[in-house]
């Protein structure tokens, strides 16, 4: 039950993130929906294809389409109140990041994959919707820049399995993992923490 709720929350958060990006690029309503859609389900689609879970999740369960459509309508109706688009985009993107890592890890665990592969699946689930969003919006994806983004997902995955070894309560495990990712991402942006770069400014 908690897993399903987290999945829906992640879908909504990433869909809103996609809407805000599309609005910033001044796309038409169809473009807004497409960007919201690929942001919300792009990572999960790639994950499901890789593990042979086809048809992929959103094709079998209409709740994802309903949630994305609802998120698009909500964001469009309240776009004037979301005046600080960059701040809002960052917030929803970070929330989606924390939640979707959990979703990917659990998918891997359910089919008996190694913890390292589960962390990779979680990172992919969380990051690749944003990669597709940024590419379609003619931006260099955040994951390919020196910002701490995928690194936060990996750290959250390590936290998940560390607590899992301690037989932590499932709800505490989920919350602690998501919070780890969110806090790392927030601190990295607040204090301008970055990965080393090979290039001089």
- The pLDDT tens digits for 58-73 are 999 999 999 999 999 9
Q: 29 versus 3: which is more confidently predicted?
A: 29
pLDDT at 56: 94
- What does the pLDDT average to over 12-35? 91
Q: Cα separation of 124 and 54, whole Å?
A: 17
Helix (H, G, I), strand (E, B) or coil at 179: helix
Give percent above pLDDT 70 in the chain. Answer: 93
Q: Cα separation of 128 and 110, whole Å?
A: 21
Q: Cα separation of 147 and 20, whole Å?
A: 20
Reported as a pLDDT band with limits 50, 70 and 90, residue 93 is confident
Find residue 194's DSSP bridge partners.
147
Give percent above pLDDT 90 in the chain. Answer: 58
Q: Quick check: 19 and 71 in contact, CB under 8 A? A: yes
- What does the pLDDT average to over 129-139? 92
pLDDT at 82: 61
pLDDT at 148: 85
Using a cut of 0.75, tell me whether the model's pTM lies above it. Answer: yes
Beta carbons within 10 angstroms of residue 168's beta carbon: 15
Q: Quick check: 34 and 69 in contact, CB under 8 A? A: no
> Any residues with CB less than 8 A from the CB of 9 and at least 6 apart, and which?
95, 99
Helix (H, G, I), strand (E, B) or coil at 194: strand
Helices and strands (H, E) in the chain, number of each type: 8, 0
Q: Calculate the average pLDDT of the chain.
A: 88
pLDDT at 13: 85
Helix (H, G, I), strand (E, B) or coil at 147: strand
- The least confident of 80-89, 131-140, 141-150 is 80-89
Q: Cα separation of 75 and 60, whole Å?
A: 25
> Which of 47, 170, 165 has its CA nearest to residue 100?
47
């Amino acid at each position: 039950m908690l897993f399903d709720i987290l999945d829906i929350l992640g879908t909504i958060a990433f869909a809103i993130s996609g809407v805000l990006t599309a609005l910033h690029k001044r796309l038409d309503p169809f473009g807004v929906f497409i960007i919201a859609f690929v942001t919300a389900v792009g990572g999960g689609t790639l994950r499901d294809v890789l593990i042979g879970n086809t048809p992929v999740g959103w094709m079998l369960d209409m709740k994802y389409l309903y949630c994305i459509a609802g998120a698009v309508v909500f964001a469009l109706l309240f776009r004037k109140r979301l005046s600080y688009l960059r701040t809002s985009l960052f917030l929803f993107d970070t929330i989606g990041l924390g939640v979707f890592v959990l979703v990917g890890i659990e998918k891997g665990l359910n089919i008996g994959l190694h913890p390292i592969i589960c962390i990779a699946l979680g990172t992919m689930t969380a990051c690749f919707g944003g990669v597709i969003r940024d590419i379609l919006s003619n931006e260099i994806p955040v994951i390919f820049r020196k910002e701490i983004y995928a690194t936060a997902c990996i750290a959250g995955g390590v936290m998940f399995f560390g607590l899992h070894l301690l037989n932590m309560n499932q709800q505490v495990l989920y919350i602690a993992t998501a919070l780890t990712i969110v806090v790392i991402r927030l601190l990295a942006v607040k204090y301008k923490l970055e990965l080393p770069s090979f290039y001089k400014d």
